[in-house]
């Protein structure tokens, strides 16, 4: 049995969700993963690339994916078979507050002599509480750039050196907790490498494809991410990734960008192995017009066969849209105005008009964008239930005005399950119209074990309570679904299926409320378990609507085999 230097382990949101009766609702309807949040962070692959290049043996184990794929999957048995000097667990986004720490505890119990380390955004924010209250964790890495600190950590362990010079590290030294501070920042994202060939070799070595899957449906709908930036120039009220949050929590005073040439290398490397859609994370206009034009010129020159999807933070003007159209024969785009109401949108931190967005969408359709997704959100500052339903009405008017029922797709979902810790709204809730229902990591861990997504929410607003947010979500889902059916964006059968799930979900929430007031809530909830299982995904929309390209992973197998053999 192989012994590794590091095994990255990705936990489900709640451990063990298979034994937990809960209606997780539409919390993941507009993202690739399920409500278990089985999508591990890209940091797994960048850190693994760094360490493997320097001779360390690394593996990824997506426990959440295994548990989803096989209800009989024995987590303890699987962990007991592993051998590693260090186990690294991500606590990146807060929905993993329960599962990550429970898995950390389990690993420490089974492998007491191995180190257990944590990292990620939420780890950075709650590091003191983690180290104080969770002795199963030997160390945490803080900040958004831990590739080099992790290498320094393993070099120090290998040589038996003191850990006090490892940047970004907090660790146990006997009974003391030592904090080395966040001293390492990546100023240029070109310093970070992603070796996709390493991922393929790791799968082959471990004979574990499921354990490396980015999310459970990846085999049927593969999507690949290339990252343009760490940090952000924007300041959205509810996002931990805003510029002020990066400054407060990660010490980052400005974004670090990946050069257009390196982005093109990433896309070309993916072309060697995979077929699917490449999502360019981060608006390519953030570093400036010259950067964006350079990247688009490289795409025009190289003409990648994989489809490219772009993230837009603000509406691009006509000139830039034309550059899009000239650079690629096929491309996709998405924008998140969050609300149709400019007042709500501005309170959220997005400063552009509907007129500007509509002109931009029209230009994109004219130059031939294959898909244009528009994302709206529920639970925002200055947003009430009427405003939510007005967003649905606006979506219908927009689609009819544009004359599009296939290429232009609006979606609406709740801000759930949590308001991001470290975001401006979390730090100053009253200023932004929020009422926080949880502050500490432990309080969020407890929320995650509640039986419905309504009770998991860590906030209410001055304009909507938890019940009203839930009600507005389901009403908006019904409205958006009916609108898409009426204008021909989805079939009658699809619309009926979504409507039925929403209806059943609303009834299930009422059933949960009754069960929680009964003399034996646990027994009452256990009776609801089977009923709840199919109601926590594709609730307010059919998740398949999000798919850019239904090209199975199995299309990539000949290319993977050829590329690996040629590069041996």
Q: Which of 114, 516, 150 is nearest to 104 (CA)?
A: 114
pLDDT at 558: 41
pLDDT, one tens digit per residue, over 362-399 is: 999 999 999 999 999 999 999 999 999 999 999 999 99
Q: What is the pLDDT of residues 320-347, one digit of tens each?
A: 999 989 999 899 999 999 999 999 999 9
Tell me the average pLDDT across 199-208.
Answer: 88
SS3 content of the chain, % helix, strand, coil (to 5): 50, 15, 35
Query: Do 166 and 235 fall into the same domain?
Result: no
Average pLDDT over residues 552-557: 41
- Res 299 pLDDT > 60: yes
Q: Is the pLDDT of residue 552 over 80?
A: no
Q: Say if residue 561's pLDDT is above 50.
A: no
Model confidence pLDDT, tens digit, residues 426-447: 999 999 999 999 999 999 999 9
- 326: CATH: 3.20.20
Whether pLDDT at 546 is above 50 = yes
Picking from 171, 191, 211, the residue at the C-terminal end of a domain is: 191
Whether residues 180 and 233 fall in one domain = no
Asked if residue 465 and residue 341 are part of one domain, the reply reads yes
* Model confidence at 456: pLDDT above 80: yes
Q: Which helix (H) or strand (E) holds 473?
A: helix 466-486
Would residue 567 count as lying in a domain? no
pLDDT of 560 reads 36
Q: What is the pLDDT of residue 568?
A: 43
**For the chain, how many structural domains are there in total?**
2
Query: Is the pLDDT reported for residue 2 higher than 80?
Result: no
Instruction: Report the alpha-carbon distance of residue 26 to residue 311 in Å, rounded.
Output: 22
Q: Is 201 part of a structural domain of the chain?
A: no
DSSP state of 237: T
Banded pLDDT at 274 (limits 50, 70, 90):
confident
In a domain, 451, yes or no: yes
pLDDT digits (tens, 9 = 90+) for 506-518: 998 899 989 888 8
160 and 259 in a common domain: no
Does 308 lie in the same domain as 186? Answer: no
> Do 167 and 149 touch, CB atoms closer than 8 A?
yes
Please indicate, yes or no, whether residues 261 and 330 belong to a single structural domain of this protein: yes
List the structure tokens of 473: 């979500």
147-187: per-residue pLDDT in tens?
A: 999 999 999 999 999 999 999 999 999 999 999 999 999 99
- pLDDT band per the 50, 70, 90 thresholds, residue 549: low
**Beta strands, E only, 283-428:** 307-312, 331-338, 371-378, 408-414
Inside any domain, residue 217:
no
Verify that 116 and 235 share a domain, yes or no: no
Q: CATH number for the domain including 91?
A: 3.40.50.2300
**Interval 482-496: pLDDT, tens:** 999 999 988 999 999
Last residue of a domain, one of 191, 213, 234: 191
Position 136 in a domain: yes
**CA-based nearest residue to 537, from 25, 22, 93, 6:** 25
Whether 359 and 452 map to the same domain: the answer is yes
CA-to-CA distance for 417 and 432, rounded, in angstroms?
18
**Contact call for residues 387 and 344 (beta carbons, < 8 A):** yes
pTM of the model: 0.93
* Nearest-5° Cα angle at 249, 246 to 251: 65
**455 to each of 160, 458, 466, how far by Cα in Å?**
48, 8, 7
Longest CA span, the chain = 69
> Sign of the C-alpha dihedral, residues 500, 506, 510, 511?
positive
pLDDT tier for residue 199 given thresholds of 50, 70 and 90: confident
Residues 490, 545 contacting (CB under 8 angstroms): yes
Region of 153 please: left (phi>0), alpha (psi -120 to 50) or beta.
Answer: alpha
pLDDT value for 530: 76
Mean pLDDT of 78-107: 97
Q: What is the pLDDT of residue 275?
A: 87
At which of 152, 176, 191 does a domain end? 191
Residue 378 pairs in a beta bridge with: 414
Residue 404 lies in a domain: yes
Helix (H) or strand (E) holding 459: strand 459-461
For residue 447, being part of any structural domain is answered with: yes
**Do residue 226 and residue 169 come from a single domain?**
no
Looking at per-residue pLDDT, the higher value among 299 and 530 belongs to 299
Does residue 327 lie within any of the structural domains? yes
What does the pLDDT average to over 261-269?
A: 95
* 252 plus 341 within the same structural domain: yes
Residue 89's H or E segment, with its range, is: strand 84-90
pLDDT computed for residue 553 by the predictor? 40
pLDDT at 30: 80
Owning domain of residue 434: 222-553
Q: What is the mean pLDDT of the chain?
A: 91
Q: Lowest-pLDDT range, 58-72, 333-347, 446-460, 546-560?
A: 546-560
* CA-to-CA separations, 481 to 214, 459, 485, 499, in angstroms, rounded: 29, 27, 6, 7
Same domain for 315 and 452:
yes
C-alpha dihedral sign at 217, 221, 224, 225: negative
- What separation in angstroms does the CA of 76 have from each of 72, 104, 415? 12, 12, 33
Rounded to an integer, the average pLDDT of 46-62 is 96
Q: Are residues 146 and 232 in the same domain?
A: no
Strand partners for 226? 280
pLDDT at 563: 42
- Give dist(CA 126, CA 427) in Å, integer: 13
Are 227 and 258 in contact by the 8 Å Cβ rule? The answer is: yes
* 564 has pLDDT over 70: no
234 φψ region: left (φ > 0), alpha (ψ -120 to 50), beta (else) = beta
Nearest to 170 by CA among 219, 212, 134: 134
Residue 266 has pLDDT above 70, yes or no: yes
Q: Would you say 146 and 230 are in contact if contact means Cβ atoms under 8 Å apart?
A: no
26 or 50, higher pLDDT: 50
- Supply angle C-alpha 226, 231, 233, rounded to 5: 110
């Amino acid at each position: 049995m192989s012994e590794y230097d590091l095994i990255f382990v990705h936990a489900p949101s709640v451990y063990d969700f298979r034994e937990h009766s809960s209606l997780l609702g539409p919390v993941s309807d507009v993202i690739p993963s399920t409500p278990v949040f089985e999508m591990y962070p890209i940091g797994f692959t960048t850190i693994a690339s760094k360490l493997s290049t320097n001779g360390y043996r690394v593996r990824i184990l997506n426990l959440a994916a295994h548990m989803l794929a096989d209800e009989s999957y024995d987590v303890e048995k699987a962990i007991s078979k592993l051998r590693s000097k260090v186990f690294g667990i991500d606590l990146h986004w807060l929905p993993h507050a329960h599962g990550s720490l429970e898995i950390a505890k389990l690993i420490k119990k089974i492998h007491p002599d191995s180190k257990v380390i944590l990292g990620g955004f939420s780890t950075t924010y709650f590091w003191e509480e983690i180290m104080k209250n969770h002795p199963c964790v030997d160390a945490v890495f803080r900040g958004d750039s831990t590739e080099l600190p992790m290498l320094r950590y393993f070099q120090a362990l290998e040589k038996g050196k003191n850990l006090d010079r490892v940047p970004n590290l907090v660790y146990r030294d006997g009974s003391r907790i030592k904090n080395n501070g966040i001293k390492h920042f990546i100023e240029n994202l070109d310093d970070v490498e992603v070796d996709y060939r390493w991922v393929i070799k790791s799968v082959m070595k471990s004979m574990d494809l499921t354990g490396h899957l980015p999310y459970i449906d990846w085999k049927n709908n593969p999507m690949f991410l290339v990252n343009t930036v760490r940090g952000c120039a924007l300041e959205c009220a509810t996002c931990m990734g805003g510029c002020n949050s990066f400054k407060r929590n990660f010490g980052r005073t400005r974004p670090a960008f990946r050069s257009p040439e390196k982005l093109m290398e990433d896309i070309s490397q993916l072309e060697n192995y995979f077929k699917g859609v490449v999502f360019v994370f981060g608006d390519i206009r953030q570093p400036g017009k010259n950067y964006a034009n350079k990247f688009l010129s490289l795409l025009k020159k190289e003409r990648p066969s994989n489809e490219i999807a772009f993230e837009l933070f603000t509406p691009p003007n006509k000139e830039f849209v034309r550059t899009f159209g000239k650079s690629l024969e096929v491309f996709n785009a998405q924008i998140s105005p969050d609300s149709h109401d400019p007042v709500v949108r501005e309170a959220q931190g997005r400063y552009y008009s509907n007129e500007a967005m509509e002109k931009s969408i029209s230009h994109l359709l004219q130059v031939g964008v294959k898909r244009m997704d528009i994302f709206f959100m529920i639970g925002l500052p200055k947003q009430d239930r009427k405003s939510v339903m007005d967003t649905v009405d606006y979506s219908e008017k927009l689609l009819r005005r544009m004359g599009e029922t296939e290429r232009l797709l609006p979606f609406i979902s709740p801000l759930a399950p949590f308001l991001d810790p470290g975001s401006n709204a979390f730090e100053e809730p009253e200023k932004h119209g929020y009422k926080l229902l949880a502050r500490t990591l432990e309080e969020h861990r407890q929320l995650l074990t509640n039986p419905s997504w309504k009770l998991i929410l860590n906030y209410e607003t001055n304009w909507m309570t938890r019940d009203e947010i839930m009600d507005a979500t389901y009403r908006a889902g019904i409205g958006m679904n009916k609108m898409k059916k009426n204008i021909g964006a989805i079939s009658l059968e699809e619309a009926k299926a979504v409507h039925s799930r929403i209806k059943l979900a609303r009834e299930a929430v009422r059933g949960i409320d009754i069960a929680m007031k009964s003399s034996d809530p646990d027994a009452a909830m256990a009776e609801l378990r089977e009923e709840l299982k199919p109601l926590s995904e594709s609730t307010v929309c059919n998740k398949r609507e999000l798919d850019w390209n239904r090209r199975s992973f199995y299309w990539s197998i000949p290319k993977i085999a050829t590329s690996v053999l040629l590069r041996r």
